Amino acid sequence: MKTQIVRSSRHNPAIQISAAFAAIIPMALLTTWFYLLRDSAPDQSEFFLGPLLFGGGMIFWLLYLHIVICHDGLQSLGLRVDGILKDILTGIGLGIGFLCLRALMQPLLIGMFAARPVNTEIIQLIHSVSSNFWLLALWLGPVVWIGIAGFEELWRVFVLRRLWNVFDGPRGRWLVIMFVSTLVGIAHAYQGPAAIISIGFKSVLMAWFFMATGRTRALIVSHAVYDSVQIVMAVVEIRNAFQPG
């Protein structure tokens, strides 16, 4: 009986789609509130606690949906025990590749879209964080690895896996990849239209990698490397801008 329930859950379109939207809706609500409804930049506590609490909470929520509601195993999320070193090295390579891709796309996208106005509140916040070693370590550590990279990549592969169980076959899988990547791009709309295109395209490549390899750890590493390098570059640039003379 238990085996029948597990098989039924994995192949029940209603359960799979409901679980996918149970993951999508919190993301949509957070994006709407944080970037569209509020009229001020986050303070320092929100800057750190927001990603950690929401991202960490969402990781548990996604695992609950995956294991308890959908009766699926961790391997289908790409969370395997083997190949840790390979995933780390692959992830570093992917992260560097995505940074190179961004450098190639950025001039074209900047030429297509007007530059966004500088948010002075965010600049001041990053400057205050960059001046404190422990806050910077917290940002480049748990915030990036758990609250951003770990959560976002687990979210991506969870929604992909749920919808692939309904829309199977090459065409169905690619339609799901385009749908999920569009959502990811829109979630970064606060960064401007150039970011929607750039991040959406990167999401297509990351989803293709997961479809081809079934490994999530490499994606988490690549995402963390990608974000960390950009954070360091922003910190250096802002520190230089605040230097007297």
pLDDT of residue 4: 47
Specify the pLDDT at position 199: 93
Please say if the pLDDT value at position 107 is more than 90.
Answer: no
1-60 pLDDT, tens per residue? Answer: 445 445 556 679 999 999 999 999 998 888 787 666 666 667 777 788 888 999 999 999
What is the pLDDT at residue 168? 87
Under 8 Å between Cβ of 206 and 222: yes
Which whole-number Å values give the CA distances from 17 to 81, 104, 137, in the listed order?
28, 37, 38
Token pair listed for 209: 């990698």
What's the number of domains the chain is made of? 1
Interval 71-103: pLDDT, tens: 999 999 998 888 899 999 999 999 999 999 999
Domain extent at residue 79: 2-242
Q: How far is CA 222 from the centre of its chain?
A: 11
The percent of residues in the chain predicted with pLDDT above 70, rounded, is: 90
pLDDT at 104 over 50: yes
Taking the chain, what is the end-to-end CA distance rounded to the nearest angstrom? 75
Please report how the helices 13-32 and 151-164 are oriented relative to each other, as an axis angle in degrees rounded to 10: 150
Helices assigned H by DSSP within 113-150: 120-130, 133-138
Helix (H, G, I), strand (E, B) or coil at 145: helix
